[in-house]
């Protein structure tokens, strides 16, 4: 058949394998987010944004794992086991992401290198940066170094997040240019991993006195909201911001693109806004629910930034792909496809590694000619 949008010949199906658009006249491309076409592009879903390689069947398992982890944190907090709840909160999302890297085999044949550079490298940098920041921002040191309270606030809410974003992306970018990791979806995955490693180390360093000195049981009052920030919002902030920056810079020469700078500006700006507004609201004794709502808003902006960046990148990279036979990891149909599954519309480079490797295979016409059209679903 011929696509009604890009006018290329494409295997029969609901979606064009070249541009990924559903074959319905006048339908907006934003209705189908490239890694998970069942969702709208502007839907700030956590798992389909930061776990793009997972098929729809696996996504439910990770959602239930997150719910189970949050339930454990709530129960531990209500029981007064704050130290255990704090450890569980710090580890929840990083451990889930490590399981995701394993499940989707994002690292392919280099697990030690990838996990060591991303999660491990991010954690190491998180320890160093947080220790330095803690020393510079002590209640006694901060006024001596920066004087005016407004200047001190800008240092904490603007300068520190900018430094963090410059440092966090380094471990991910060390993998840039390796033949096995060519697409920006790889840059996103490694950037998120580095950001989550940094978030884990930052939490452990900041709350070390709590972890080492707290009694076994204590009053849970006023701990629920901070633990929700530690368990969900802070790792999503750090991971999304670094993932967006890493994906944007993944292709060499992208720093000369104005759109790339816009994405980087949004990521850094959302990080600064998260920290700055949280500090201002806390200083003015606003309720914890108000603080959580503002933090969630900035995380939502970051998730939408990541989705738009990844979606556009997958569409741009589609023009360089060739037709091969493979099996879609999302709908499990045997297909002849290039960039997108013609049955479900999922971007194949954002599939599990087995499908992605097949899709990166030699795009020769004899593969298609060898299989009669009636055998392709």
Q: Could you give the CA distance from residue 135 to residue 87 in angstroms, rounded to a whole number?
A: 23
- pLDDT, the chain, mean: 86
Cβ-contact 61, 100 below 8 angstroms: no
pLDDT-based confidence at residue 348 (cuts at 50, 70, 90):
confident
In a domain, 354, yes or no: no
Q: Which of 71-75, 195-199, 283-287, 355-359 shows the lowest mean pLDDT across its residues?
A: 355-359
Cα(199)–Cα(123) distance, integer angstroms: 7
pLDDT in tens, 261-295: 999 999 999 999 999 999 899 888 888 999 999 99
Compute the average pLDDT of residues 161-168. Answer: 96
Higher local confidence (pLDDT), 141 or 21: 21
* pLDDT at residue 145 tops 70: no
pLDDT at 50: 94
What is the pLDDT confidence band of residue 178, given thresholds at 50, 70 and 90? confident
Residue 316 resides in a domain: no
> Which position has the token pair 């700030």?
44
Degrees (nearest 5) of the Cα angle 302, 77, 290? 40
Say which residue, 294 or 357, is predicted with more confidence. 294
Looking at residues 11-19, what average pLDDT do you find? 90
In a domain, 319, yes or no: no
Bridge partners (DSSP) listed for residue 228: none
Residues sharing a CB contact under 8 Å with residue 150, sequence separation 6 or more, in sequence order: none
282 close to 291: Cβ distance less than 8 angstroms: yes
Contact 254, 260 (CB under 8 A): yes
d(CA 55, CA 58): 6
Residue showing tokens 């794992």: 65
Residue 135: pLDDT band by 50, 70, 90 thresholds?
confident
The span from the CA of 14 to the CA of 137, in Å, is 57
Beta strands of the chain (E only): which ranges? 324-327, 334-337
Range of the domain at 234: 59-303
In a 13 Å sphere around the CA of 68, the CA atoms on its Cβ side amount to 7
- pTM listed for this prediction: 0.88
pLDDT band at 367 (very low <50, low <70, confident <90, very high): very low
Provide the β-strand partners of residue 327: 334
Q: What is the mean pLDDT of residues 241-263?
A: 87
pLDDT of 371 over the 90 cut: no
CA atoms of 164 and 51, how far apart (whole Å): 23
**In a 3-state reduction of DSSP, which class is residue 331?**
coil
Express as a percent the part of the chain with pLDDT over 70.
Answer: 89
DSSP-derived letter for residue 31 is G
**β-sheet bridge partners, residue 325:** 336
In the chain, the percentage of residues whose pLDDT exceeds 90 is: 47
pLDDT of residue 285: 86
Task: Let me know if 7 is exposed, middle or buried by CB neighbors in 10 A (0-12, 13-18, 19+).
Answer: exposed
Residue 83 belongs to a domain: yes
State residue 216's pLDDT score: 58
Q: How far apart are CA 41 and CA 311, in angstroms?
A: 8
Residue 231 lies in a domain: yes
Q: How confident is the model at residue 360 (pLDDT cuts 50, 70, 90)?
A: low
What value does the mean pLDDT take over residues 233-239? 97
Look at residue 280 and tell me if it is in a domain. Answer: yes
Mean pLDDT value across residues 206-221: 75
Is 315 inside a domain boundary? no
Range 296-299 contact pairs with CB under 8 angstroms and sequence separation of 24 or more: 296/233, 298/237, 298/270, 298/271, 298/273, 298/274, 299/233, 299/236, 299/237, 299/240, 299/270, 299/274
User: Structural domain tally of the chain?
Assistant: 1
Q: Is 213 helix (H, G, I), strand (E, B) or coil?
A: helix
Q: 103: which residues sit within 8 A by CB, 6+ positions away?
A: 54, 58, 352
In a domain, 282, yes or no: yes
Question: What is the number of alpha carbons within 13 Å of residue 289 lying toward its C-beta?
Answer: 0
43-80 confidence digits (pLDDT tens): 999 999 999 988 878 889 999 999 999 999 999 998 88
Q: What is the pLDDT of residues 32-41, one digit of tens each?
A: 899 998 899 9
Secondary structure class of 337 (helix, strand, coil): strand
Q: What is the mean pLDDT of residues 88-111?
A: 90
Q: What is the pLDDT of residues 306-327, one digit of tens each?
A: 999 999 998 888 877 888 888 8
Q: Residue 362 has what pLDDT? A: 42
């Amino acid at each position: 058949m011929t696509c009604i949008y890009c006018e290329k010949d494409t295997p029969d199906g609901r979606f064009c394998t070249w541009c990924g658009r559903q074959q319905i006249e006048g339908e907006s491309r934003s209705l189908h987010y490239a890694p998970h076409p069942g969702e709208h592009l502007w839907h700030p879903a956590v798992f389909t944004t930061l776990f793009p390689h997972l098929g729809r069947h696996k996504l439910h398992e990770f959602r239930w794992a997150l719910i189970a982890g949050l339930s454990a944190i709530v129960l531990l907090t209500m029981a007064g086991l704050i130290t255990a709840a704090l450890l569980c909160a710090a580890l929840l999302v990083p451990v889930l992401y490590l399981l995701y890297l394993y499940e989707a085999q994002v690292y392919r044949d280099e697990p030690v290198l990838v996990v060591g550079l991303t999660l491990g490298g991010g954690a190491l940098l998180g320890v160093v940066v947080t220790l330095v920041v803690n020393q510079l921002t002590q209640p006694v040191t901060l006024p001596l170094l920066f004087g005016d309270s407004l200047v001190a606030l800008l240092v904490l809410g603007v300068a520190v997040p900018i430094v963090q974003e410059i440092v966090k992306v380094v471990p991910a970018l060390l993998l840039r240019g390796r033949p096995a990791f060519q697409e920006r979806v790889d840059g996103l995955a490694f950037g998120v991993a580095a950001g989550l490693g940094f978030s884990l180390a930052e939490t452990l360093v900041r709350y070390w006195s709590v972890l080492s000195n707290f009694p076994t049981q204590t009053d849970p009052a006023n701990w629920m909201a901070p633990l929700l920030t530690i368990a969900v919002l802070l790792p999503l902030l750090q991971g999304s911001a670094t993932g967006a920056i890493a994906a944007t810079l993944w292709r060499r020469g992208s720093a000369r693109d104005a759109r790339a700078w816009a994405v980087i500006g949004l990521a850094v700006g959302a990080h600064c806004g998260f920290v700055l507004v949280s500090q201002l609201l806390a200083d003015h004794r606003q309720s914890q629910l108000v603080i959580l709502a503002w933090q969630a808003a900035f995380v939502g902006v970051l998730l939408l930034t990541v989705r738009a960046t990844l979606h556009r990148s997958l569409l741009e990279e589609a023009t360089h792909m060739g037709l091969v036979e493979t099996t879609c990891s999302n709908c499990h149909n045997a297909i002849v496809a290039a960039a997108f599954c013609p049955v479900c519309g999922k971007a194949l480079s954002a599939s599990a590694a087995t499908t992605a490797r097949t899709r990166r295979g030699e795009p020769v016409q004899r593969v298609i000619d060898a299989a009669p059209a009636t055998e392709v679903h």
